[in-house]
Structure 1
């Protein structure tokens, strides 16, 4: 039988009424002739509650027991969904991660998939079961302990099952009806896209769009899993955006979307020694400290030689604002240890990142010129620029973020998407 994977997020299974609504969507696919693997998240708010209980119980908790507690939220939803489907006359059963089994690494709290054997679930489909309801976000380590996959783990679970079972499609049900050209709360002119390429979705997800978790898009792109993002609360034909290979998109716009992130910080090491290996000396300690560095710019120092006897340079980079303290400590420790020499570390926590993304950039000139002209027309000053084949990102003052998003949305006429 053809097979679908359907994933329901926390808001889609927040209470018994919403679980029934989700079950009806599953039933409809079964009636169309599909076997269905349903991946469920914990009911909305439950994971945070479980995490809170762990932290109240143990300040320096055992990560293995943390996973055992936190994974239970998905187990409850899976059981309730299977019960509701059975009440509707649909042959279904629930599966916890260890029962499949979903084999993962032993990195508790951030485990990664190793394998998902098909045998157990395929055997149940062969017996006449039509739906396997699988608890998302969890797996089993080689040591036999429950693991969890980290933020957005249920999305990644759904894509992994779609790849393992060669599903026709993976539907991600959430509280939004698809992928928009930008956040509609920032630009009222934002439009929903019917289709978007894997590469574009990956860039948008990594640059601040919250619709899909980055790991899930990476996995979908690697295994060519056709993803559909749609709302659990919209039954219209226009519901949803298909994330697919770019060959499925007839004519790509130059820019498909504008992404943004408020929680950015700009850090500059002033008067760093300009010598081979200095970048490694800076970004090695940052990586070891778990700091996620994004945009990097190196330029001639205004101080020229400063306190140094040779040539110097300034090194500017951006980090998430909640990692600033960690980055500052890593750089001070590197300075004290003589790994790197610099005169000063400047930090600006009042910046935002705004990006335009589109696979059409590969074959179109003038995108950067149009972007910078649009920002200049609104007197928005650019602090840092970073580019890739299908993306241009800038750091600007945070107070101009919404203005910049709206200006770029207008400049690239995304309201016509």
Structure 2
């Protein structure tokens, strides 16, 4: 039988009525002739509640017990989904991560997949089971302990199962009806995309778009899993949602496919560090070890007085998530104490946002940067930092101008129009 993977997020299974609604969508696919693997998240808000209980009980918690607690939300949803399907006369059963088994590394709360053996689930399909309901977000370590994959891990679980079982497609049901050219809450002109390439979706996800978890897109691209993002709350058919697929499936695309943003950014500048070979490694090595996710990096001539600096000096600026600023500051202070680096000042700006334009068409079209910078200039938006890749340009700007910048760029590239 052809096989389909269907994933339902927390808002899609927030209560019994929504679980029943999701189950009806699963039943419809079974009636179309599919065997179905359903991946479920915990009910909306449940994981946060469980995390809160752990932190109240043990501020310096054992990560193994943390995983045991927070993974339980998905177990509840999986059991309720299987029961609901059974009440609809659909042969279904639930599976926890250790029962499959979903083999992962031992990195609790940030585990990665090692393997997903097919034998147990294939045997049940052969016996007449039509739907395997899998608790997302979890697995089992080599030591036999429950592990979790980090926030958004159910998306990754769904893609991993689609790859392991050679699924025809992986449908991600969420509270939006697809991937848009930008956030519709910011621009009323935002348009839903019928298709988007893996690389574009990966950039959008990493740059702030919340539709898909970054690791899930990476996995889909690696194993060529066709992803479809669609709404749990609307009637859907084969043309619904947005298909995330290989570039070769997209006949013609616009130069820019979307505008992404991230408001929770900070800019950190090390003022007057030595300009010598190895200084970048001395700065970004400790940041990496401290778990700081550095994004944009700029090295420039220092504006400080050179009298006390007979050698060449420079300023080093980088951006990171705002919730990692304290960690970054400590890493830099520790590096200075250890004699790895020296600097006069560490300047932090927490009132910035990152705005990016993304599109595979940028590979073969010139002038994207010029159009972007002209549009921002017309709105008197000052650019603090710029970074580029083959298919994206990102700028760091004052946070108060973020929505204005997103709207201006959406208009400048005429994203409301189809290709």
Q: TM-score range by the shorter chain?
A: over 0.9
Q: Classify 1:236/1:138 alpha carbon distance in 2 versus 1 (closer, same or farther; 3 Å).
A: closer
What stretches of structure 1 move > 4 A for 4+ residues in a row? Answer: none
Q: Distance in 2 between matches of 1:306 and 1:405?
A: 43
Cα distance in 1, alignment partners of residues 233 and 242 from structure 2: 15
Tell me the distance in 1 between the aligned counterparts of 2:250 and 2:120: 37
Equivalent position of 1:309 in the other structure: 310
Aligned equivalents of 1:159 and 1:334: distance in 2? 40
Question: Structure 2 length normalisation: TM-score?
Answer: 0.98
Whole-Å separation in 2 of the counterparts to 1:76 and 1:202: 31
Question: Residues 19-40 of structure 1, C-alpha deviation per residue, up to 9 Å, x if partnerless?
Answer: 1100000000000000000000
Residue 244 (str. 1) matches residue 215 (str. 2): no
Q: CA deviation at 1:300?
A: 1.4
Q: Which residue of 2 aligns with 1:354?
A: 355
How big is the shift at 1:390?
Answer: 0.1
Deviation (angstroms), 1:303: 2.4
**1:245-288 per-position Cα deviation (integer Å, ceiling 9, x unaligned):** 01000001100000000011111111110100000000011111
Matched with 1:78 is 78
Q: Which residue of 1 aligns with 2:47?
A: 47
Deviates more, 1:360-369 or 1:227-236: 227-236
Match of 1:113 in 2: 113
Residue in 2 that maps onto 1:374: 375
- Asked whether the equivalents of residues 271 and 306 of structure 1 are also in contact (C-alpha less than 8 Å), the reply is no
Supply the distance in 2 between the matched residues of 1:43 and 1:25 (Cα, whole angstroms). 18
- Once the two structures are superposed, residues 169-223 of structure 1 have per-residue CA deviations (whole angstroms, 9 ceiling, x without a partner) of 0000000000000000011110100000000000000000000000000000000
Assess if the C-alpha contact under 8 Å between 1:271 and 1:304 holds in 2.
no
Q: Work out the CA distance in 2 between the residues paired with 1:8 and 1:33.
A: 20
- Aligned residue number for residue 69 of structure 1: 69
Q: Deviations over 1:366-414 (max 9, x none)?
A: 0000000000011110000000000000000111100000000000000
Contact 1:14–1:44 (8 Å) recurs in 2:
yes
Deviation at 1:304, TM superposition (A): 6.0
1:268, 1:223 → 2: CA distance?
Answer: 39
Counterpart mapping for 1:3-402 below 5 A: 3-237=3-237, 239-303=240-304, 305-402=306-403
Deviation, structure 1 residue 329: 1.1
Aligned-partner Cα distance in 2 for 1:236–1:252 = 24
Which moved further from structure 2: 56-65 or 246-255?
A: 56-65
Instruction: Answer with 233-242 or 2-11: which moved more.
Output: 233-242
Q: Whole-Å Cα distance in 1 between the matches of residues 38 and 4 of structure 2?
A: 8
Contact 1:227–1:243 at 8 Å: present in 2 too?
yes
TM-score by length of 1: 0.99
- What is the count of residue pairs matched by the alignment? 417
Structure 2: 5+ residue stretches without partners: none
Q: Can you list the C-alpha shifts for 1:54-103, whole angstroms capped at 9, x where unaligned? A: 11211211111111111111011111111111111111111000000000
The CA RMSD over aligned residues, in Å, is 0.9
- Residues 112-157 of structure 1: per-residue CA shift (max 9 Å, x gap): 0000000000000000111000000000000000001101000000
Matching residue of 1:411: 412
Shift of 1:301: 1.4
CA distance in 2, matches of 1:189, 1:307: 54
Query: 2: distance between equivalents of 1:64 and 1:162?
Result: 27
For 1:48 and 1:236, locate their aligned partners in 2 and report how far apart those are by CA, in whole Å. 30
| Cα distance per residue 1:317-347 (max 9 Å; x no partner) | 0011111111111111111211001111111
Question: Which sits farther off after the overlay, 305-314 or 290-299?
Answer: 305-314
- The CA distance in 2 between the partners of 1:158 and 1:182, in whole Å, is 25
Report if the CA contact (8 A) 1:43-1:77 is conserved: yes
Question: Shift in Å at residue 306 of structure 1?
Answer: 4.8
Deviation at 1:236? 4.5
What's the CA shift for 1:305? 2.9
